[in-house]
Structure 1
Amino acid sequence: MNTAQQEALLSEGTINLVGRVVESSNATFVVEVTRDDDYTWAIYKPESGERPLWDFEPGLYRRERAAYLLDAALGWGLVPPTVIRTDAPLGVGSLQWFIECDPAMHYFRLVRESPEAHERLRRLAVFDVVSNNTDRKGGHVLTDEHGGIWAIDHGLCFAAGYKLRTVIWDFAGEPIAPDILTDLAPLADAVPDEIAELLDEREVRALRRRTQRVLDMGILPIDETGHAWPWPLI
């Protein structure tokens, strides 16, 4: 099933709750989505299950969708297909394609044990800088059964103020590959409408500024404070 077909199934399929992800800080559910003979599991994050935050407005599900759209605009294939459903069992929320993975194979193992994954992890590091990810834990980097690397949990992205917190500091100070900079360049000039509609004006302007800064610097940032890490780490 290609990406367009996955999006269509998520957007149009019937949703049934399977169970709750108990370790998640916000209410998060595994659901099954069916349409005719098509079937998948998905991760459902309803707005009604969000904990109030002082630095993010309600509606984190919109940021989940915006992260997917940003990844799609860049053509990097890091974020699983993610849609917004208003007719889900517990109200409006995001629905993301479920990635079958080994939960023990998180970022820290990948970076130590899989040198072949480093190029994709570097790309993810750039994605997190541009999207201003405030919560890139090691367990938010997944490896599927084919060895593909995926990034999940983007509800705390796109703040206007600089809030980067990530575990991906192994490549700090390294030059960013020219093809990555080429992919980013259009974003400094204009944010695609479909993404801008999910953010406020300050966040859209900040997204362009962060992109331009990455283009100007040409290297992955260095955490000079030692505090730009999420907790827990995994």
Structure 2
Amino acid sequence: MTTLVELLDVLQHGEVGFVGQLSDSSNLTVLVDVTLVRDGGQEDYCWGIFKPEAGERYLHDFPAGLWRRERAAYLLSEWLGWGIVPPTVVREIVPLGVGSLQYYVDNDGSHYFPLYETRPDLHPQFLRMAVFDLLVNNTDRKSGHVLLAGSHPADHVWGIDQGLCFHQDPKLRTVIWDFAHEAIPPELVDAVEPLAGEVPEEVASLLSPEEVAALQSRASRIVRLPWLPEPQSEFPYPWPLV
């Protein structure tokens, strides 16, 4: 596979095989392999992370169907041109039912805390992720949800586990507070600004009207006050931290 379109095609239409369950996840999370046989016999293959709605634990503040938020976060990341969330589609996979299927990011196990300390060259990507989390109201940006892929100098920082985003009430919980009070670069503000007026339909269709309005309000805040906030809630960090 050489393009994003081809990768999304594999995720959406490929044959799925079950590899194993991630035992340390709070919701059912399954590692799968996905194979698509194209005309001429060529096979495209990747690993993916499947999170079915049927495997979600009850949450008092988020309705069932966290796959909608996983997909919405991916679509918004792509619309912004930031490439933060790995390619994510919605699929129904027997016998688990409907859920999000996200491209598995091959990584060396590094996560935010050690990377922030040892890789100052990645700080612009971390700051951009902090802006993204502020925009989508991420309530679960653990250190282990920040992955590094690629090879220097083309290293790319990915953000995974976006199921607890887009709530209409302020709920930002993240480990990325190192950029508090820093100015948001103008190019990031410019990318966010159109959202204050209108949210892309493909994103809006996955959220409630109240959540769409709150997303617009947060975009407006970033435009009016282009700096990253300090922790303000009673519980500003997710748990566990990693």
TM-score (norm 2): 0.94
Which of 38, 43, 58 pairs up with 2:49?
Answer: 43
Aligned ranges for residues 23-172 of structure 1 at < 5 Å? Answer: 23-36=24-37, 37-103=43-109, 105-146=110-151, 147-172=155-180
Q: In structure 1, what is the Cα distance between the partners aligned to 2:61 and 2:176?
A: 23
1:224 deviates by 3.9
Change (3 A) 1:88 1:127: farther
Instruction: Give 5+ residue unaligned stretches, structure 1.
Output: none
Residues 1:192 and 2:200 are matched in the alignment:
yes
Residues 1:209 and 2:217 are matched in the alignment:
yes
Deviations 1:59-96 (A, max 9, x none): 00110000000101100011100000024541100000
Q: In structure 2, what is the Cα distance between the partners aligned to 1:29 and 1:50?
A: 12
Q: In structure 1, what is the Cα distance between the partners aligned to 2:94 and 2:27?
A: 16
Deviations 1:148-184 (A, max 9, x none): 1100000000000000000000000000000000100
Q: What RMSD over aligned residues (CA atoms) do the two structures have, in Å?
A: 1.0
Instruction: Give the structure 2 partner of residue 227 of structure 1.
Output: 235
Q: In structure 2, what is the Cα distance between the partners aligned to 1:81 and 1:106?
A: 19
1:227 deviates by 3.0
Deviations 1:10-50 (A, max 9, x none): 01101111100000000000000000100000000000000
Change (3 A) 1:225 1:195: closer
- Report if the CA contact (8 A) 1:15-1:88 is conserved: no
- Report if the CA contact (8 A) 1:17-1:89 is conserved: no
Q: Which moved more, 1:192-201 or 1:88-97?
A: 88-97
Aligned length: 233
- Report if the CA contact (8 A) 1:67-1:131 is conserved: yes
Give secondary structure in 2 for the equivalent of 1:170: coil
Q: In structure 2, what is the Cα distance between the partners aligned to 1:224 and 1:204?
A: 23
- Report if the CA contact (8 A) 1:78-1:150 is conserved: yes
1:198 deviates by 0.3
Q: In structure 1, what is the Cα distance between the partners aligned to 2:104 and 2:205?
A: 25
Q: In structure 2, what is the Cα distance between the partners aligned to 1:98 and 1:108?
A: 21
Give secondary structure in 1 for the equivalent of 2:97: coil
**Percent of pairs identical after alignment?**
50
The residue identity in structure 2 corresponding to 1:19 is G
- Report if the CA contact (8 A) 2:71-2:90 is conserved: yes
